[in-house]
Amino acid sequence: MRSTQQYLLAHGIKPSVQRIAIMEFLFKHQTHPTVDEIYTELLPHIPTLSKTTVYNTLKLFVQQGTATQIDIDEKNARFDSIMEAHGHFRCKKCGCIMDIPLPELHDLLPQNTDFSIDEAYVNVKGLCAACKSGQTS
């Protein structure tokens, strides 16, 4: 796999210590983190990091196609580095967010449509297996 620096350059993003760290965090943590979660985790390693830098970097990543913003959580924007088509499930009890596979987009559309689709989002909510079985509090 290419380095994070090469990955960012390939997407028109000038690599910096902060940008590389944030992208690597997204690659490593498939938990759909918030700006605050990323900031809190990276601050001990990058003492000069600001929350504004994290926010602006994520905004740049979304614009350049290296991350997506997920709006499944009513309180916080969350971010994902997986760019292949997939949906998201959010547990209403514990708040976990998980990726869910999707059928091909053309299988979801009515027949004989003349749509030109640029983006599609599928977010579902319910109870995860652990909460459903009463294993979490």
At 121 the pLDDT is: 80
Asked if residue 24 lies in contact with residue 60, where contact means CB atoms within 8 angstroms, the answer is no
pTM, full prediction: 0.83
Lowest-pLDDT range of 21-25, 51-55, 112-116, 132-136:
112-116
Paired tokens of 72: 């499944």
Q: Closest Cα partner for 73 from 120, 33, 37, 25?
A: 33
| 87-91 and 78-80 strand pairing | unpaired
Higher pLDDT, 31 or 102: 31
Asked if residue 83 lies in contact with residue 65, where contact means CB atoms within 8 angstroms, the answer is yes
* Helix, strand, coil in percent for the chain, rounding step 5: 35, 15, 50
At 1 the pLDDT is: 43
At 101 the pLDDT is: 86
Asked if residue 79 lies in contact with residue 68, where contact means CB atoms within 8 angstroms, the answer is yes
